Amino acid sequence: MGWTADDIPDQSGRTIVITGANSGIGLEATRELARNGATVIMACRSTERGADAADGIREDIPGADLRVEACDLGDLASVRDFAARLEESIDVLVNNAGVMAIPRSETDDGFETQFGVNHLGHFALTGLLLENLGLETEPDSRVVTVSSGVHENGKIDFDDLQHEDGYDKWDAYAQSKLANVLFAYELERRLLTADANAASMAVHPGYANTQLQLRGPEQSGSRLRKAAMTVLNTVAAQSAAMGALPTLYAATAPEAEGGAYYGPGGLMNMRGTPERQASSDRSYDEDTARRLWRVSSELTGVTYDLPTPAADVPA
C-alpha cells in the first residue's frame, strides 16, 4: 500500500511552519500534522481565511495546536515581519504556498508574481528563519520545498527572469518550480558543508484536486476554462489529502533524506503514495543553482549564514 498518513510518527513537541496552510496541500498537511500532535504555525496571506481553515481543523481534531500568522510571499516586507514575530524554535519549515499559470502581474516588490511568490518569497523566508531552525542545536530540522512535476519543462532565464520581454504563463510557472528544486538542492549542499543538523528536500504532489488550478482561469476571466478545469480535477486528479503525502513524508518520516525529491509513485508519477524520484537534469546543475542563489540573494536582500558548498559535497 505504501506510506500513508497513518505512518506519520508522533509529532508531539515539534513546531512546524507551513506557508499557504489555509487551502489545498497546505491545509491537508496541517490537518495531519496537528492530528499527530505537532504545533502548526499557519503562515497565510489572508489571516481571515487562515482562521476559518483552523476552525475547520479544530472541528475535526479538538485541541489541535494551531496558530495563524500573516505572511504574504508576494510582499518581502510581510515576509520579514512574519520572521521577526516568530521568536520560538521551529523543527520544520514547509515552503508550500504558490500560484500557477496566472496572467502576468507583479508582486509588491516588482517581481513577476509566479517567480516572486513561488521562489523568491520562500528563498527570503527560509533565510530569515535559519536561526529559528536551530541548525546547531535541533537534532532533526527540515526544510521541505514544494515544487511540481512541471519543473521538468522549466529553464532559468537569467536574461529575463521576470519575463518582461515575453510572457507565457506556463513557462513562467515551470521556471519558478525548477527554481524550487534548484534551491532545495543548493540549500542541502550548504547545510552539509556547514555540518548542520538539518536537511533540505523537494517534493511534488502529482496531480491533486485543489483550488490552485482554478486561479489562472479565474484571474483571466475565463468561465469556460474554469469549468473545464473543475471537471478535469474531479475526474482525473487524486485528492488533496493524497497530494499532501509527499510533503508529510519529507517533513516527518525518519528515513526521508536530505537532497532528495519525493513524489507520488503511481501512474505517471501523478498519483499514489510517495517515493523517492529523480528530478529533471537541469535541477542538478550546480552552476545554475549557485548563480540562482546569488541572484536571489541580491533581489531579496536576504543573505544566509551558510558557507558556499565544498567541492566534495554530493549533488
Q: Mind telling me the catalytic residues?
A: 173
CB of 182 closer than 8 Å to CB of 283: yes
CA distance 294 to 28: 33
Half-sphere exposure of 225 (CA within 13 A, CB side): 12
Strands 274-277 and 261-264: antiparallel
Residue closest to 147 by CA, chosen among 102, 186, 113, 181: 181
Interior angle at CA 137, CA 135 and CA 143, nearest 5: 35
Q: How many CB atoms lie within 10 A of CB 297?
A: 15
The edge-to-edge listing of strands for the beta sheet with 261-264 is: 66-70, 39-44, 15-19, 92-95, 141-146, 198-203, 261-264, 274-277
Q: In the numeric block, which cell numbers belong to residue 299?
A: 533581489
The CA-CA-CA angle for residues 137, 256, 124, to 5°, reads 60
Amino acid at site 82: F
